[in-house]
């Protein structure tokens, strides 16, 4: 056991011990890239932090018949380095956009989910791939779609005593073109003003299926399914996509903050759609 600020860090030896500590009010800790900020600010009030970053049950990337299962405590850098993720181009694009190499070496995908930030880069590919979140507690396990798990900024469907165990990500259908881009006010370690990820299937330059997911433009990541449907059977060109720029801008619900106004975020979200044509 050690102490950071005024909060003790406990190192459980196995998952069952960790779950008991979490059930008693302990706060799960893996990379800590966001949690330590709250500790330093004095806004974290848990009786202790439960370090789960080295528990084998929460680590690794495992390939299955239908996709991959990523341990909640696997770091972004470890996920990028694993050969099983090579079929998930949009996941790799998004994870490479997270912070600095040091942050990618510490931060975890499970932490991104638990933080539930609408600006979380790692969440966008999970929405695009329609991933599922596996939760565990001393009472057992359950599984939710990522869209059911994240309820709002900093709000999730985690119950008292639960922690994220893993994320299952189905293999995409062959032939998908992957896209991810975020726009920020500065280039170094940017937090997105708006971001867009996409998977697009096209034949002879004509869109047959499109999945879009936007970050930083609503309380949660947005899948604008109506706009996705509009794109089907349309040419994958700037001229054709321009027709749907306003529809995408209207599909988001941004706020104004220190980084950008709501109107600017709407404009950026619409403009990002045009970039799909250039890949």
Instruction: Tell whether the model's pLDDT for residue 242 goes beyond 90.
Output: yes
pLDDT digits (tens, 9 = 90+) for 190-240: 577 899 999 999 999 999 999 999 999 999 999 999 999 999 999 999 999
- The DSSP secondary structure of 6-57, one letter per residue, reads TEEEE--SSHHHHHHHHHTTPEEESS-TTHHHHHHHT----SEEEE-TT-GG
pLDDT digits (tens, 9 = 90+) for 4-19: 556 788 999 999 999 9
Domain ranges, ordered by start, for the chain: 2-51, 56-170, 177-277
Q: How confident is the model at residue 188 (pLDDT cuts 50, 70, 90)?
A: very low
Q: How confident is the model at residue 279 (pLDDT cuts 50, 70, 90)?
A: low
Q: Which whole number is the average pLDDT over 96-123?
A: 90
Q: Where does residue 65 rank: exposed (0-12), middle (13-18), buried (19+ CB within 10 A)?
A: exposed
Instruction: Tell whether the model's pLDDT for residue 247 goes beyond 90.
Output: yes
Instruction: Give rounded-to-5 percent helix, strand, coil for the chain.
Output: 35, 30, 40
* Contact between 11 and 51 (Cβ < 8 Å): yes
User: CATH assignment of 177-277, given 3.40.190.10, 3.30.390.50, 3.40.50.300, 3.30.460.10?
Assistant: 3.30.390.50
Q: pTM of the predicted model, to two decimals?
A: 0.92
Distance CA 151, CA 103 (A): 25
The listed range with the strongest mean pLDDT (36-50, 91-105, 255-269) is 91-105
Instruction: Tell whether the model's pLDDT for residue 187 goes beyond 60.
Output: no
Q: What is the mean pLDDT of the chain?
A: 91
Q: DSSP label at 259?
A: S
Quote the pLDDT of residue 257.
80
**Domain 2-51 architecture:** 2-Layer Sandwich (3.30)
The CA distances from residue 54 to 21, 29, 68, 80, in Å, are: 16, 10, 20, 18
User: CATH assignment of 56-170, given 3.40.50.920, 3.40.1080.10, 3.30.465.10, 3.30.420.40?
Assistant: 3.30.465.10
Higher pLDDT, 7 or 68: 68
Q: How confident is the model at residue 99 (pLDDT cuts 50, 70, 90)?
A: confident
Instruction: Tell whether the model's pLDDT for residue 171 goes beyond 80.
Output: yes
Work out the percent of the chain whose per-residue pLDDT is above 90: 73
Quote the pLDDT of residue 50.
93
């Amino acid at each position: 056991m050690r102490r950071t600020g005024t909060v003790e860090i406990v190192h459980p030896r196995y998952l069952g011990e960790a779950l008991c500590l979490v059930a008693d009010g302990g706060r799960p800790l893996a990379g800590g890239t966001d949690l330590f900020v709250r500790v330093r600010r004095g806004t974290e009030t848990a009786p202790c932090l439960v370090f789960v970053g080295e528990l084998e049950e929460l680590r690794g990337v495992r390939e299955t018949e239908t996709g991959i299962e990523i341990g909640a405590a696997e770091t972004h850098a470890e996920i990028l380095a694993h050969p099983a993720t090579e079929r998930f181009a949009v996941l790799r694009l998004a994870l490479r956009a997270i912070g600095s190499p040091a942050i990618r070496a510490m931060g975890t995908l499970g932490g991104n989910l638990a933080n539930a930030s609408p600006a979380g880069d790692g969440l966008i590919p999970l929405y695009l791939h329609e991933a599922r979140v596996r939760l565990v507690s001393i009472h057992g396990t359950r599984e939710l779609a990522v869209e059911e798990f994240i309820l709002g900024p900093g709000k999730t469907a985690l119950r008292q005593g639960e922690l994220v165990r893993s994320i299952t990500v189905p293999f995409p259908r062959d032939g998908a073109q992957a896209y991810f881009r975020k726009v920020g006010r500065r280039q170094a370690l940017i937090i997105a003003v708006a971001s867009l990820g996409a998977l697009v299937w096209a034949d002879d330059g004509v869109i047959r299926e499109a999945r879009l997911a936007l970050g930083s433009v609503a309380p949660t990541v947005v899948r604008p399914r109506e706009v996705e449907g509009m794109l089907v059977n349309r040419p994958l060109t700037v001229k054709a996509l321009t027709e749907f720029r306003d529809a995408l801008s209207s599909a988001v619900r941004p706020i104004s903050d220190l980084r950008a106004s709501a109107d600017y975020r709407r404009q950026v979200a619409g403009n990002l759609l045009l970039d799909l044509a250039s890949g």
